Amino acid sequence: MPSAAIFDLDGTLLDTLDDLADSANEALGSFGYAVHPVEAYRTFVGDGMAVLMERILPAEARGAEDVARLLTNYKAAYDRRWKSKTRLYPGIFELIATLNERGIPLAILSNKPQAYTEVVMGHFFPDHRFDLIFGQRETVRRKPHPDGALEIADHWKLDPAEIIFIGDTSTDMDTATAAGMIPVGVLWGFRQEEELRKHGARFLVRTPGEILSIFE
């Protein structure tokens, strides 16, 4: 039976796809680049903002300067849009409240930059308790490197094998595996069941409430 849980953020707790896509398309349009359908961003996002910029730019415009310019405009757009369409997935509020009531330690590990992660969490989860909220930090390798996950385990003084890692992408499943944690894939997020299975999901859940059964 696990003792604690680490959650991914985008695509796991929050449906952020529209705001991410709208911001990225605004940035692309500002330079005259073609934009992408919102659904395409399901596979573009998940590995940090810089990687997102590389993926959405035309192949001939993926140099460091091009990425940096687009990233600047993307951040400006996302600063205005981050809560325009973003919503908690159904059942998430109740799940986190129940885990808090049971005294189960919770943490966030996201590839969204740290400052954005803190702002988003403060807005959407003001009354829920998370021991640690980690986004992408310059001093820590981003997921799927296990560094951030192991830092959380060390903070809790828990064996990684006692911790479930909950996410919606191969990046999350790979992170959990690399850290020696229990990979839990959610089927309401940005990616498909096949991807989660292929990357080692030990549990697959269709609703947030099913996560509670892993602790029982």
Residues carrying an active site annotation: 8
- What distances in angstroms separate CA 22 from CA 55, 88, 125, one per listed residue? 15, 18, 23
State how far the Cα of 160 lies from the Cα of 3, in Å rounded to an integer. 10
CA 170 to chain centre: 11
Go through 87-123 and write b for each residue having 16 or more CB atoms within 10 A of its CB, e for each that does not: ebbeebbebbeebeeeebbbbbbbbbbeebbebbbee
CA quadruple 174, 178, 179, 184: dihedral positive or negative? positive
State how far the Cα of 36 lies from the Cα of 14, in Å rounded to an integer. 21
Q: Which residues pair with 4 in a beta bridge?
A: 163
Q: Which tokens hold the place of 91?
A: 């059942």
Find tokens 């980690």 and name the residue. Answer: 134
Bin 17: left if φ > 0, else alpha if -120 < ψ < 50, else beta.
alpha
Extract the runs of DSSP E, i.e. beta strands, from 116-176: 132-136, 163-167
